[in-house]
Structure 1
Amino acid sequence: MSKVIIVGAGPAGATMAYLLARAGVDTTLLERETNFDRVFRGEAMMPLGLEALEQMGLGISQLPHRRIDSWDMHVANRLIFQVAEPQTELGSRAVCVLSQPAFLTHVTNLARQFPNFRLLQGATVRDLGMENGRFSHITATHNGQPFTQTADLIIGCDGRGSVVRTRANIKLNLLPESYDVLWFRFPAPAALRGQTSVYLMGSVRNTALAYNSHDNHMRYALLLPKGGYDRQRDWVDEMAEPAPSWLADHLQTVRSQISEPSKLNVIVGRAASWHKPGLLLLGDAAHPMSPIRAQGI
């Protein structure tokens, strides 16, 4: 039986592991974190992504999610236009926000039904090894204990800062990006419970995005110029500055319940090669993308 090691149990790694295990391949999925409840994980699902999940047999109907109702553009605190999402036309492929921890738990639980699948959480890959001109094994630690594991194929799904890509000496060709994103979470106003519009907000000083997620907590993304996070400031006031008045007032009301910011270091580029003998890169490890209108998970 062929042996595959997948590094990174994000959406790309988890779904690939499930498909390989279902096909009878001996599959080991390594994840650095000890659980899927990271502070922030992308949530948006676009129609083509939902279609791909359906083709894999991984529908999301039983998972925590909510369809997007509309896109509302605000400039200088004023609503400029509103575009409704075509939910009826798209059907099961309608744009939605999805709990990524729930999705990853669901996919890995499905994979666990196959005896040829193994998930190691708390596993950190340190290096790659070669034999006869091809990548043949990884060295890693699991819960602090070192180990080595061989494979016929090593798949790097370990994100924009991919250790697999770095250790394989594959160059990442970067595109210039001049911003980072700070994500915040806080209780949604009562008037928004059960509905989800995406609010795009811009002013001379700030650009931001917000939406009410599946758990009736809002997600708020504040775009910053590179290095902007290093300058200490009142983030709630910065969040309120481009927002419509109702949201600005709500931010002040729930000030004490707003999470600490989670910083996304925006990197956009493409690996010079996505593969070498015995090795493959997928997802952000191969092509880190901008979060602007990206797939989201």
Structure 2
Amino acid sequence: MSEFHPPQAGDKLTTRCCVVGGGPAGLFLGYLLGRAGVEVIVLEKHQDFLRDFRGDTIHPSTLELMHELGILEEFLQIADKHFDSLALNLEGKQIEGPYFTHLPTKCKFITFAPQWDFLNLIAEHASKYPNFQVHMQAQATDLIRQGDQITGVKVNGVNGEYEIHANLIVGADGRGSQMRIDAGVKIVEKGIPIDVLWFRIKKSGDSIDHTLGRIKNGRMLVTIDRGDYFQTGMIIHKGYFDELKQEGLEEFRNKVTDMLPHLAEGIAEIVDWNQVRLLSVQLNHITNWAQPGLLFIGDAAHAMSPVGGVGVNLAVQDAVATANLLADKLYKGNVTLDDLKQVQLRREAPALKTQRMQVFAHQRLFGKQTPAGRPVSISWGFRKVAGLFAPLLRQKAGKIIGLGFLPEHIQTPERAPKETATTT
């Protein structure tokens, strides 16, 4: 494989497919298309994949795809912990939650891996194919049109602005998608009443804790065991962060210590608000995933909330379905609008079902309208059901979380490239 040189200002590249966004959806799609012999360029606006507090919960559905691709064992070497079940701590009482041991997959557990390690692994394997390229520090700014047809994108790169012209542009640039704005698609918001504060709490000892959620005195923490620390999320009402900061760091530490007293020493190391990051939770979808020459997938098509940790996995499922449906068409160079609509036809229903599940969980856990700063409102119905988590309910929840509503499988072949990219 020849050494990659970033395009120069004024260059005009041509390719079969240009994927905007180097997250799980975009990079996984680029990998599958490159593997299937399709000429593809993935654009990533940052200089690397190292960005904190990105989704890193990898479910059995995604692990199964990596097994099918032959990269599972390599991935498991970078995964932190494996959990074949999850638990909830409600007012000091441990309640067993979803379990995954019954799933028809090679890996009957969920795992956690830093998303940058996951993306680096995918990029490394994709780069083995000469018709795959990833352009780092390359931000797509505008769509290029010829009449009603999208024919390319303008890109700000390390050497200046250049253009990429392609049979297909895929918008996989997340919930803040610039391509989505430029295309003028309609966004349907679902009014989520919470935000999440992300921070790390240092652990002592090597014990493993599979308690994912903790609810006490009307407050909720998400705790992900990462070995020597907990990746922790405090659920707050939307817009409450400024008021929380006014109360002071000591009061914030007290709130966390009340729920995690055995980690008081680690909590004490949070001495600056810069150690606490605000994740503004969004839950929305677009109504039209496809235009002539343009397709949206992943968070750009349906932004998910953190409930269930499904975001990364749903994005990867979108990528696999897109490759399954379009790789042969792209290989031959004849993708139509009807072909693109087949992706939405297949993936929209499971995405919307998942969002309805998340909305239900938000309403039951946090209420529809609760004043900012008030404790999380845990409905009496949830308390009753949580205390009686029946095995059948735990099994069903494990299937929905672990596999999703429509798990995909690799159907694209591994073959030689059709052609190579050109620059003018």
Both structures adopt the same fold (TM-score exceeding 0.5)? yes
Q: Return closer, same or farther for 1:54/1:39 CA change in 2, 3 Å cut-off.
A: same
C-alpha root-mean-square deviation of aligned residues, in Å?
2.4
Asked whether 1:285 is paired with 2:300, we answer: yes
What does residue 253 of structure 2 align with? 236
8 Å Cα contact 1:69/1:197 also seen in 2? no
Q: Return closer, same or farther for 1:162/1:56 CA change in 2, 3 Å cut-off.
A: farther
| 1:28 counterpart (30, 37, 41) | 41
| 1:48 counterpart (34, 53, 61) | 61
* Structure 2: runs of 5 or more not aligned: 1-13, 313-424
8 Å Cα contact 1:240/1:251 also seen in 2? no
8 Å Cα contact 1:66/1:196 also seen in 2? no
Asked whether 1:7 is paired with 2:58, we answer: no
Partner SS for 1:158:
coil
| 1:81 counterpart (83, 89, 95) | 95
Q: Return closer, same or farther for 1:91/1:104 CA change in 2, 3 Å cut-off.
A: same
Distance 1:96 1:277 in 2: 38
| 2:228 counterpart (216, 228, 234) | 216
Distance 1:246 1:176 in 2: 35
Residue 168 of structure 1 and its aligned partner are, at CA, apart by: 0.8
| 2:181 counterpart (166, 170, 174) | 166
Residue 46 of structure 1 and its aligned partner are, at CA, apart by: 1.8
Asked whether 1:273 is paired with 2:327, we answer: no
Within a 5 Å distance, the mapping from 1:61-76 to structure 2 comes to: 61-68=76-83, 70-76=85-91
Partner SS for 1:190:
coil
Identity of aligned residues (%): 26
Higher helix share: 2
Matched residues, number: 291
| 2:52 counterpart (21, 25, 39) | 39
Distance 1:160 1:84 in 2: 28
Distance 2:15 2:98 in 1: 48
Q: Return closer, same or farther for 1:202/1:267 CA change in 2, 3 Å cut-off.
A: same
Normalising by the residue count of structure 1, what TM-score does the alignment of the two structures yield? 0.89
* Structure 1: runs of 5 or more not aligned: none
8 Å Cα contact 1:137/1:150 also seen in 2? yes
Deviations 1:154-184 (A, max 9, x none): 0011111111111111111111101111111
Residue 43 of structure 1 and its aligned partner are, at CA, apart by: 1.2
Q: Return closer, same or farther for 1:130/1:150 CA change in 2, 3 Å cut-off.
A: same
Higher strand share: 1
Residue 283 of structure 1 and its aligned partner are, at CA, apart by: 0.5
What does residue 132 of structure 2 align with? 117
8 Å Cα contact 1:188/1:212 also seen in 2? no
Deviations 1:15-72 (A, max 9, x none): 1000001111111110111111112221112222322333344422333332025433
What does residue 227 of structure 1 align with? 239
Residue 207 of structure 1 and its aligned partner are, at CA, apart by: 1.3
Normalising by the residue count of structure 2, what TM-score does the alignment of the two structures yield? 0.64
